[in-house]
Structure 1
Amino acid sequence: MNENLHLLESSNDSSPIIVLSWWLSGIFFLIIVLLILYVKRLRNHLRVNAKIEAKYQEEYESCLVTYLYSGNEEEAFSPEQLLIISELKESIVDPFKRKIIISTLLKLRNEISGEMGESIDKLFVKMGLLRYSLAKLRDKKWDVIAIGIRELTQFKIMGVNKLILNNINHPTKEVRKEMQLYLVHLYAFKGLEFLNVLETPLSEWDQIQLLEILQLNNDSQIADIKPWLKSSNDSVVNFTLKLAKLYNQFEAKDELIKLLNHKSEEVRINTISALSHLNILEAKNILKNSFNERSLEEQITFLKMMENVHENSDKPFLLEHMHHENFEIKSLVMEILKSINFEESDLYEVETKKTITA
C-alpha cells in the first residue's frame, strides 16, 4: 500500500515532459500495432487476390489457346470461336476480369506472330476491348492514358492516330513517349510526322528507341527530313541529324550546311559529324574559314572529320594550328599532317614527340 502510494506521488511529482513522453510512447505503440495488423491483413488480401488472378489467368489462357486453334480459312470467325467470344464478353464487364483477359492476350501476343498474332488483334476488337482502351485516352490520370496508348500499340490498332496525336505535347513525359512509340511502331517513317508540331524535348533515350523501331521496320521509303532540320525544337533537329547519318540523306546537303551556323552548339557539333559521315566536302572550307570562331568541341569534331577528307591543299591550315594550345587539337593536327605525304613528315614526327612529352 505504501509502495503504490509512493509511485502515485512520484508520478504526480514528475516533469510534464516526462508525462508527455509516456503518453506519446503509448500512442506510437498503439499506431505500430495497428499498422502491423493492417499490413498483415493487406498481405492476406493480396495473397488471396493473387490466387484468384492466377486461377482466372489459367482459365482464360486455356480458353484463348482453344480459340486460336478453332479457326478455319472459310470464315472470319468459326462457330467455336464465336461461342468463346460470347463467353469472354460476359467477363470483360468486370474490371478485374477484364484486366486479366487483356494481360493474358498480351502474353500470348508477345509469344506468337504471323497469322495467329493478327488473330489476337482481331479478337481484341471483336470482344469490344477497343472501346475500353479508347476510353482511357479521355481519362484525367496520365498513367491511365499511357496504358491506353500502350494497349493500342501492342494490339496494332490503326486508324486512331488522330486521337493519339492529341497527346503530342502532354505535360507528362511517359504519355508523350507512348504516343511516339505508337506512331512509329504502326506507321514507321510516316509516323514521324509528329515531329512537325512537337514542342517538348525529345530525350536521347526516346531518340534511340525510335531509331531502333525504324530499323526493325525495314521501311525503305524514308520521309523527307528537310522540314525537321528547320525545326525550332533543337531535340528534333538533333534526332533528324541521326536520321541523316543512318539513312545517308545526302539530298539534305544544303539544309545540313546551313545548320553549321545554328544557335545551338550541340546541333552544330552533330551537324559536323553528319557532314563528315556523308562526306560532304563543301563543308570543309566553310569550317576551315570559321575555325577560330568555333567552340573547342566544334574544332575537335571538325579535325576528326578532316582525318577522312584531308588533301594536300589543307597543309597551310594545318600548319597554322600545329602549335594549338589544346593538346587534343594539336595531336589531331599532327596526325593529319603525318598522313599527308610530303617531305616535311620528319618534322611532324619530332613535333608529335614534343607534344606527347610536354
Structure 2
Amino acid sequence: MEEIWELYKNGKWVVSFLTFSIYFFVAASFTLYLYIVASRSRKIRKERLRIEYNTEIERLMASVIFEDASFSDIKKNKNFLVLFDTSFFREVLTESLINLHKNYEGVYAQKLEQFYNESGLIQDSFKKLKSIKWEVKCKGITELAEFNISNAFDSIIAYSKARNKTLKITAINACIKLAGTQSIVYLIEHSDPIDDWTQLNIIGAFKKHDIGDTEGVELLLESKNTTVVTLGLKLIKELKLTQKIPFVAQLIAKAPNTTIKYEAQSILQTLTV
C-alpha cells in the first residue's frame, strides 16, 4: 500500500495516464468517424439501388397489371432473376406491390395478389413473423393482411397478446381486416386489459375496413374482461349499431360494475335519441 501511495504522490503516473487517454480518445474518434462514413455510404448506396430497382419494378408491374404477364413469364428475364435473388430487391418489390394494391381494386388487385403468391414473396412475409425483431414481425403481418392471406390468421392472432403495443395493435388490426367480426371471438377470450389507445385503433380498423357484417359485436359485452366489454360498447356507439340496443339494455341489468353500467346507460341514451 505504501508503494502505491508513494507512486501516487510522485505523480509519475499522470503523464502515462494522459498519454493513454489522448491516444484512446483519438482512436475512438477515428473509429466513430469511419463508422459514420460507412453507414452513410450504405444508405446512399441503398437509395441509389432503390431508384434503379423501382424503375425496373415499374416496368414489370405494368406488364403484370395491364398485359396479363404472369410470374412465369417474368422469370424468363435473366436480369430479373439475378435481381430477384437479392433480399433488398425483394423488399423493394414487396413495398411496390403493397402500394399498388392499395390503389387498385377488382381484377387489377387480384393480379397483384396472384403475383405476390406465385413469386414466393408470401413466404418472405411468413418468415418475417418468426423474426426476433418486433418491427420486422409488424412488417410481415401488414404484408399478409394487405394481400388478404386468410390462412395467416392463426399465425397473426397469436401476436394480439404481445407485450409490445405496436405489434399487438398491428396484429389485431390485421385480423379484423382478414376475418372481420369473426376475429371478435378471440377478443372475447382476451385476458389482458385492452388500453384506451388499443381500443381506439381497433375501432379505427373497423371503420377503415368498412366491416359491413357486424354480427357478433354484441358478444364482446359478455366477456369477463371489463376492458373488452368497454370496447364492445364503444364499437356499438361509434358504428351506430342501433340493432344492438337490446344487448346494451341487457348489459345494464347485469353490469359487472357501476362504471360499465353508467357507460352502457349513456350509450343507450345516445342510440335512442
Q: Counterpart of 1:207 in structure 2: which amino acid?
A: Q
Match for residue 135 of structure 1?
127
Distance 1:272 1:25, change over 3 A: farther
Match for residue 96 of structure 2?
104
SS at match of 2:161: coil
Q: Alignment length, in residue pairs?
A: 260
Match for residue 21 of structure 2?
24
Q: Counterpart of 1:275 in structure 2: which amino acid?
A: L
**Offset of residue 259 of structure 1:** 5.2
| Residue from 273, 276, 280 that aligns with 2:269 | 276
**Offset of residue 165 of structure 1:** 2.3
Match for residue 4 of structure 2?
none
Q: Counterpart of 1:83 in structure 2: which amino acid?
A: D
Q: State how 1:64-83 maps to structure 2 within 5 Å.
A: 64-71=61-68, 78=69, 82-83=72-73
More helix by share: 2
51-60 or 199-208, which deviates more:
199-208
Kept in 1, the 8 Å contact 2:150–2:178? The answer is: yes
Q: Is 2:156 the partner of 1:164?
A: yes
* TM-score, with structure 1 as normaliser: 0.64
Match for residue 59 of structure 2?
62
Question: Counterparts of 1:18 and 1:264 in 2: how far apart (Å)?
Answer: 74
Question: Counterparts of 1:187 and 1:51 in 2: how far apart (Å)?
Answer: 39
Question: Counterparts of 2:75 and 2:164 in 1: how far apart (Å)?
Answer: 36
Q: State how 1:243-258 maps to structure 2 within 5 Å.
A: 243-245=235-237, 246-248=240-242, 249-258=244-253
Distance 1:21 1:177, change over 3 A: same
Q: Counterpart of 1:20 in structure 2: which amino acid?
A: F
Deviations 1:309-343 (A, max 9, x none): xxxxxxxxxxxxxxxxxxxxxxxxxxxxxxxxxxx
Q: Counterpart of 2:25 in structure 1: which amino acid?
A: F
Distance 1:93 1:264, change over 3 A: farther
Kept in 2, the 8 Å contact 1:70–1:81? The answer is: no
Q: State how 1:218-233 maps to structure 2 within 5 Å.
A: 218-233=210-225
Question: Counterparts of 1:54 and 1:203 in 2: how far apart (Å)?
Answer: 41
Q: Is 2:144 the partner of 1:149?
A: no
Distance 1:225 1:101, change over 3 A: closer
Question: Counterparts of 2:11 and 2:151 in 1: how far apart (Å)?
Answer: 77
Kept in 1, the 8 Å contact 2:128–2:136? The answer is: yes
Instruction: Indicate the percent of aligned positions where both proteins have the same amino acid.
Output: 19
Kept in 1, the 8 Å contact 2:101–2:112? The answer is: yes
Q: Counterpart of 1:84 in structure 2: which amino acid?
A: I
Structure exhibiting the larger radius of gyration computed from Cα positions: 1
Q: Counterpart of 2:247 in structure 1: which amino acid?
A: A
**Offset of residue 38 of structure 1:** 2.3
Q: Counterpart of 1:114 in structure 2: which amino acid?
A: G
Q: Is 2:109 the partner of 1:117?
A: yes
Instruction: State the structure with bigger RCO (CA 8 A, min sep 6), 1 or 2.
Output: 2
Deviations 1:247-275 (A, max 9, x none): 12212044321354x3474x344223213
